[in-house]
């Protein structure tokens, strides 16, 4: 493997290439979703399973927060936890995702008791949380950089749900609207940390591998759903 340090531009390009090759917008389940081909049961399964991912985001962010050495980085990073857990007067993303479930006909208790969460989804999400628990903090931050690719996917998804899944009450889409400004803000901060902290080629390659790992986490979640909820156009 080459050992020279990548420039910031080269490093950023390598990170973005990971998304171009492996981000979950290219998974057959998402492609079928975007073509309006998912049955309500498949959409509800996606919402109920993704809830397990969403509720663990502030947990993994708290694990990363505990390792950030600078006050400046902690002051920015803590906002991610508040975005999901909410605060007095602002319910937060976890509550908004529960409301997405209710808007799609999934009772709140069925979201909260995780009865629909598939074993492989649990394993993939738990692997992500443990990755952030155990890896050096710049590498854990690098695994969040799938957010570089999220805004275009989420903005497309809003239109898809409005037009192709009108049976989902529109107020359920509020979560996705908030991500349109939260994700770019988070991605900018995460990328600045990774570019600043990965000071040799080995660390740069570790950060790129961390982003591949995270793409695999998101991909595995949809693989599990494809297996458990086949039919329609999610056949691989
Ligand atoms: O709603 C999402 C979210 O809050 C986050 C946090 C971030 C991270 O720190 O890993 N990743 C992420 C993502 C969210 N939504 C996913 C989607 O498809 O709606 C995309 C996912 C991501 O791209 O990592």
Q: Is the separation of the CB atoms in 70 and 193 below 8 Å?
A: no
Name all residues whose Cβ lies below 6 A of ligand 1: 57, 144, 146-147, 150, 153-154, 179
Closest atom, ligand 1, to C-alpha of 190: 9
Instruction: Look up the pTM and report it.
Output: 0.96
Q: What residues pair up with 90 in beta bridges, in sequence order?
A: 87
Q: What is the pLDDT of residues 4-50, one digit of tens each?
A: 999 999 999 999 999 999 999 999 999 999 999 999 999 999 999 99
The set of residues, in sequence order, having a beta carbon less than 8 Å from that of 55 and lying 6+ positions away, is 94, 97
Across 204-222, average pLDDT? 98
Nearest CA to ligand 1 atom 19: 154
Closest CA to 44 of 93, 2, 106, 125: 106
Domain range annotation of the chain: 8-228
pLDDT at 53 over 70: yes
The Cα-based distances of 2 to 5, 10, 196, 197, 204 in angstroms read 9, 13, 20, 19, 12
The set of residues, in sequence order, having a beta carbon less than 8 Å from that of 222 and lying 6+ positions away, is 24, 27, 28, 29, 30, 46
CATH 1.20.910.10 fits 8-228, yes or no: yes
C-alpha 191 – ligand 1 centre gap (Å): 15
> By percentage, how much of the chain surpasses pLDDT 70?
97
């Amino acid at each position: 493997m080459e050992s020279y340090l990548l420039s910031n531009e080269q490093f950023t390009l390598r990170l973005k290439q990971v998304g171009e090759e492996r981000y979950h917008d290219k998974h057959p389940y998402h492609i079928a979703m975007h073509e309006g081909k998912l049955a309500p049961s498949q959409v509800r399964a996606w919402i109920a399973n993704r809830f397990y991912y969403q509720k663990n985001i502030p947990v993994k962010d708290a694990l990363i927060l505990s390792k950030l050495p600078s006050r400046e980085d902690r002051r920015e990073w803590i906002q991610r936890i508040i975005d999901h857990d909410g605060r007095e007067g602002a319910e937060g993303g976890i509550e908004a995702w529960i409301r997405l479930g209710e808007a799609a006909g999934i009772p709140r208790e069925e979201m909260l008791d995780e009865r629909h969460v598939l074993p492989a989804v649990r394993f993939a999400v738990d692997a992500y949380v443990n990755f952030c628990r155990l890896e050096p903090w710049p590498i854990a931050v690098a695994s969040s950089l799938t957010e570089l690719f999220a805004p275009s996917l989420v903005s497309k998804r809003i239109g898809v749900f409005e037009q192709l899944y009108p049976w989902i009450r529109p107020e359920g889409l509020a979560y996705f609207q908030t991500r349109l400004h939260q994700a770019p803000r988070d991605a900018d901060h995460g990328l600045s940390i990774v570019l600043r902290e990965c000071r040799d080629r080995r660390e740069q390659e570790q950060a790129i591998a961390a982003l591949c790992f995270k793409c695999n986490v998101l991909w595995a979640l949809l693989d599990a759903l494809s297996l458990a909820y086949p039919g329609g156009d999610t056949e691989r």
